Amino acid sequence: MREETRVSARWFGIAILAGICAFSGARSGAQEIHSGEDLLRAMHDKYRENWYETLTFTQKSITHKPDGTSSSEIWHEAAMVPGKLRIDIGPVNDGNGILVADGTLTSFKDGKVSGTRPFVHMLLVLGFDVYKQDPKVTIEQVKGQGFDLTKLHEEGWAGKPVYVVGADKGDVRSKQFWVEKEGLLFVRMIEPDKKDPAKTNDTRFVDYRQLPVGWVAAGVEFYVDGKMVFSEEYSEIEANPKLDAAVFDAKQFGTVHWEK
């Protein structure tokens, strides 16, 4: 009986030690994220083997007017991650839309280029590209757009804890992005309005849905000074459909289309 007692005590001690080590490991793992750079790397590492390379969906785009009424139209969107997004506004054959590719935004009217300018689409970067591209690229993009990656704190959002990057606690005006802590999914971006810095733009990713690979927010809401001005509702969402690279070629926008 004494030998059995010694064996039981030894195994009990090992179990306690293992529990302490596991708890310490969990705490140290949580402490690894202490800057925006750490968070962007963690987002990438969590999903780099489980995220889509292409995505298509139909989008109901709703404009919310000051008088309380709204109007809507259907857009068709296709993405190739990282860095490429095509938006066909209205019927695809009309040739109206926007193409984001290789750091450039190109607008189209009746199948012809109507404008072009350098553009880093931060919602594409933080909501999609971050999970597939080299974290160094994401970090440089985010820094280049004026986010202070040295500032990190935690908040509660929609009943869940989130990381907030780019602002001190209590600051809801500075350029910042929010990431849900457990799933490491992007949920919010706040920044001063480019045309009127006195106003604050607030973009929210809502209604996240798990796909065969990765996740997608099936809704996006845009607020200015707390009032919703635009929203998006996604349907017919498909992860990893086959897409020809020509779909994202500005020279072929009016002639090459994709269909679900």
* 3-state secondary structure labels for all residues of 198-215: CCEEEEEEEEEEECCCCE
Spans in the chain with pLDDT lower than 50? 1-31
Cis, peptide link before residue 192, omega less than 30° from 0 = no
Kindly report the pTM of this predicted structure: 0.86
The pLDDT score that the predictor gives to residue 2 is 42
Give the chain's length.
Answer: 260
The pLDDT score that the predictor gives to residue 254 is 87
The pLDDT score that the predictor gives to residue 260 is 55
Inter-residue contact 65 to 76 (CB < 8 Å)? no
The pLDDT score that the predictor gives to residue 243 is 96
Q: Determine the Cα–Cα distance for residues 242 and 75; give it in Å rounded to an integer.
A: 19
At 37, which helix (H) or strand (E)?
Answer: helix 36-47
Beta-bridge mates of residue 180: 162, 185
Q: Which fold has domain 33-252?
A: outer membrane lipoprotein receptor (LolB), chain A (2.50.20)
Q: Would you tell me how many other CB atoms lie within 10 Å of the CB of residue 51?
A: 21
3-state class (DSSP) for residue 94: helix
Q: Which two tokens stand for residue 165?
A: 């990057």
